[in-house]
Structure 1
């Protein structure tokens, strides 16, 4: 068991590094697609054209959610408990599995309690548990008759929150035994649900399976409601952005992607601002030495010099722009990026982002 876990841990670490890099590369073009689609929607369009552009935006937003979920699952990091909503975690998992569930004719029925309280939990670990349970039900129904129904319900009772998964597949015994699996060779190690058992125990909860012949299997996850304070992320919230007119500002945009440069330039100039472009941190520092700016919007990962190093140099020099710097990034899950952002007071905008 220990050797299998070590092998799985090493594999997930490699996958995490790969996915993180790919996600960053995908989020840049997705930002361009979503951004320019939003700019088009601000214009006068006929009904047909508007629906087509709305479809482009919606599909790009769907892709961005998939990338975001992949990042959350693939990154290997220390357990970190923070306020989490189980309904949100369930929806994230289903966004990853919706296509496979549909093509396998598995109907998903949700009964999520809208008043479900948050609890302190490691969101990444709980999502892994939810994903494993969904995959187990999906696999069991596939082997049963190729289709079925998966019902997922949440509820609060006293100081506990519960997730119940009910499928229409036949019972599988020894479900939490290490290495026990009904899958073919190469399709699974039999460790998934065993690891889930350990994760839920570490959270002070319980996970168990119930079944009756001919009535499918019911998985239940029960977690205690644990209150706790966690610092709110300093993420720019476009939904609450003021629509009041703002004074003309001199803004330096630092990004190595042409599409992001053009998008931000178009949006900011539309609001009456003056925009200057730099392709990396070193070029930005040269610009700052030559002319004054009111604000910097900068990517974090760039060739030559990234946003973090540029911020450090500005801070070391006591430059006021170090505090008037907004970071944009396509990967807020990478450990080095998270560590940097948690150590500064600057706002961060995750790619892709909404313009209005």
Structure 2
């Protein structure tokens, strides 16, 4: 079976000139398995005579395989019976369909993960609060040290639930104008404690500020997750490069490693939640899924290039923003210890009983006068003798959420 003639569009799609196409055997264009099926249909006379599409895999001049939808019908060519075909490259359509299915799957898993993470986070909060009270009340240094170790393990669990909440989009974002270079620089300082000495980390940052609108904490988490992924790809050591740059109206950051590379099969699934190539006890499969979710929510994209035996490069591209006004100053953030209460009146609103009791115990131990409510409705129904001076509320409450409750109570008790 040979090709008699093609049009210019076929020449552009396949890469051969019209002259090269003429007389070419179908064996050079069709993938072997598909060609065998096509010939069998031709012999059996089961090829559709109507213009209904059939899907086959063809090969371009450069050897790449792509999917086409072909419609065929019998014709007469220069007095001989022949068959005319139209072929449409449907690669992009298939990619869009696969991305849509992947998005729907990740959305469903995200909703499940978010619900579990929120409930589990409340349990951890109760455990941490009670452990803190136990440590503060302990007269034995040995007991206090043991409880402190328990607290550390609880915080590790809380870090995992934070990853789940980030992935499921249930974590509250705080967007503002940020410099990507500053975010990467701050993350690189943290990496000093996370990356072994056998791995050399090099910064290759753009000299000018790279402004974007987003949540600095979440982009910081993106870089940390990508860097830890690169670390795990180099168990015997190597080099890691963190880069930033600008391309037109977009800014980007890259994490490059010298690991073993990623196979195409793994690349196809690498951003799926809970997918991991690491053994049991070595990773949750959430790191890159979290990265994917954060980047999408920032209107960006993430691309992977990898070569087996030579390493991988992850590039995150974000929409750029104009510089902030000179008057806009960003205050550094930091955690401060909760001060002694000295009788300050606090209203605690938390729907999970264990977390609520734990918070009450800690606050009362610190000297606060605490009133507790299990819901926004219960808090609004309170008629305390003295108005609360502080409100400590869960963000996600049944019925009315935390921020709305705070505004409502602020109007009642300014």
**TM-score, normalising length from structure 2?**
0.50
Whole-angstrom distance in 2 between the partners of 1:299 and 1:251: 14
- In the other structure, the counterpart of 1:258 is 353
Following superposition, the deviation at residue 274 of structure 1 comes to 1.8
Following superposition, the deviation at residue 64 of structure 1 comes to 1.2
Whole-angstrom distance in 2 between the partners of 1:234 and 1:47: 35
Please, which runs of 5 or more residues in structure 2 have no aligned partner? 1-94, 273-287
- In the other structure, the counterpart of 1:57 is 151
Aligned counterparts, 1:205-220, within 5 A: 216-217=310-311, 219=313
- In the other structure, the counterpart of 1:111 is 201
240, 252, 265: which one aligns with 1:182: 265
Whole-angstrom distance in 2 between the partners of 1:239 and 1:114: 33
Question: Which secondary structure state, in structure 1, belongs to the residue aligned with residue 313 of structure 2?
Answer: strand
Larger radius of gyration: 2
- In the other structure, the counterpart of 1:293 is 388
- In the other structure, the counterpart of 1:120 is 212
Question: Which secondary structure state, in structure 1, belongs to the residue aligned with residue 256 of structure 2?
Answer: strand
Aligned counterparts, 1:7-26, within 5 A: 7-26=101-120
Question: Which secondary structure state, in structure 1, belongs to the residue aligned with residue 257 of structure 2?
Answer: strand
Question: Which secondary structure state, in structure 2, belongs to the residue aligned with residue 60 of structure 1?
Answer: helix
Structure 1 position 319 matched with structure 2 position 412: yes
Structure 1 position 37 matched with structure 2 position 127: no
**TM-score, normalising length from structure 1?**
0.57
Following superposition, the deviation at residue 127 of structure 1 comes to 6.0
Please, which runs of 5 or more residues in structure 1 have no aligned partner? 142-146, 173-180, 322-356
From the two aligned structures, give the one with the greater helix fraction: 1
344, 363, 366: which one aligns with 1:268: 363
Larger RCO, structure (CA 8 Å, separation 6 or more): 1
57, 62, 69: which one aligns with 2:163: 69
Whole-angstrom distance in 1 between the partners of 2:149 and 2:377: 39
- In the other structure, the counterpart of 1:239 is 336
Identify which range, 128-137 or 8-17, moves more after superposition: 128-137
Count of aligned positions: 285
Following superposition, the deviation at residue 307 of structure 1 comes to 3.2
Mark the CA change 1:129 to 1:6 in structure 2 (over 3 Å): closer, same or farther: farther
User: For each residue in 1:201-256, what CA deviation from the matched residue of structure 2 results, as whole angstroms up to 9, or x when unmatched?
Assistant: x9999978587x96x22537597997547896998x54265x4x655222222222
User: For each residue in 1:139-188, what CA deviation from the matched residue of structure 2 results, as whole angstroms up to 9, or x when unmatched?
Assistant: x88xxxxx65464333679999864422332686xxxxxxxx23499788
